[in-house]
Structure 1
């Protein structure tokens, strides 16, 4: 059975718990920032909540266990209600990945804090924190990729001038197809997605870990 999973079978409970937190806080962050800028759409649809059932996409969650990537239910955002649409939209898009980075920082903080003061000596607990931190960093980096429908593309779209944005919109429908090709086709992901993650994820891990560790020195 393990050969059909992206993670070892014994780690699936840790990954599942992490995804519940990661997806819930990611989408809640989108909804909360949109709400603060005047868009009630997500709130009216019950997305301004910590209830994971409101945020998890069953297929997207299962897929991350099998393929190593997946998604939650996108938060609906209506730019019409924003007084400064571009700025608000950028901040709404940034909020999701930033929530994952904050969760990763919390994982580091608990690990270093508990380890420093000897609060809990459990190999399994620290292994869970390792998975929790790493997976949230992966989601932080993953969601900032400039491919639709990811947050990184939305940020790029809002930063682009109007004439370029119109052209981007024309090809946006092909974004998911391009994304799936880059992720699933083995020769392509080895020279595109994988090197990017192999470079950036360890860098974020080291920078964030060094910062949190410095708090205890």
Structure 2
């Protein structure tokens, strides 16, 4: 796989912006709802260095990309939130969790809408900007859809814990310490194991791809690009 400097230039910028705004949104909403943990630690910030995890954001995706993994996976430094400090811990947790994916959908919307300004951009920069905008739509929608999977510590898992009755929420919340291992298992290990026996066990990736495609088509339609 030949990755050029141009490829890096049109993927890194939208990726860094998507991750930075996603994490900052969590901290901002938590601050507004009564928890100052992230604010006091300087994590309510648009400085990407505050949110990038050297392994999860850079090394892991690169390793998976170079090893032709069936699914690219990575993560940023989680914004620390003390849910007990929120004025209403249960509903507050839902709003804090939704803030990240909602911000990514908003960024994807603005990137899609910005396609209409390409005709005003100098010819030499038009293709580069178009590729950045296209990748911004894709990255932000994937980040939003993936994070809404109902598996703690993903945002969707925390939303589920906040909305489900206690009899279901309690056992789901106890999965959080093992969430990363569960994700790696179902996204990477299971599909690779299935391929050894001629089985397609890449179910979660298929769900994410289908959902991502639907959301992108909807955004393009709403912004007049369809």
What band does the TM-score fall into relative to the shorter chain? 0.7 to 0.9
Q: Would you say the 8 A contact 1:28–1:50 is kept in 2?
A: yes
Q: Distance in 2 between matches of 1:158 and 1:208?
A: 28
Q: Distance in 2 between matches of 1:126 and 1:169?
A: 41
Give the TM-score, by structure 2 length: 0.84
Q: Distance in 1 between matches of 2:24 and 2:11?
A: 19
Q: Distance in 2 between matches of 1:77 and 1:96?
A: 13
Unaligned ranges ≥5, structure 2: 65-71, 195-199
Matched, 1:143 2:147: yes
| 77-86 vs 25-34, greater mean Cα deviation | 77-86
Q: Distance in 2 between matches of 1:132 and 1:198?
A: 16
Q: CA deviation at 1:66?
A: 3.7
Give the TM-score, by structure 1 length: 0.88
Matched, 1:39 2:35: yes
Q: Distance in 2 between matches of 1:164 and 1:144?
A: 18
Unaligned ranges ≥5, structure 1: none
Match of 2:221 in 1: 210
Q: CA deviation at 1:16?
A: 1.3
Match of 1:119 in 2: 120
Between the two proteins, the alignment pairs up a number of residues equal to: 207
Match of 1:15 in 2: 11
Q: CA deviation at 1:183?
A: 1.4
Q: Would you say the 8 A contact 2:152–2:172 is kept in 1?
A: no
Coordinate RMSD, CA, aligned? 2.0
Q: Would you say the 8 A contact 2:152–2:175 is kept in 1?
A: no
Q: Would you say the 8 A contact 1:12–1:65 is kept in 2?
A: no
| 87-96 vs 14-23, greater mean Cα deviation | 14-23
Q: Would you say the 8 A contact 1:19–1:61 is kept in 2?
A: no
Matched, 1:25 2:36: no
Q: How does 1:77-96 map to 2 (within 5 A)?
A: 77-96=81-100
Q: CA deviation at 1:190?
A: 4.5
Q: How does 1:160-179 map to 2 (within 5 A)?
A: 160-179=164-183
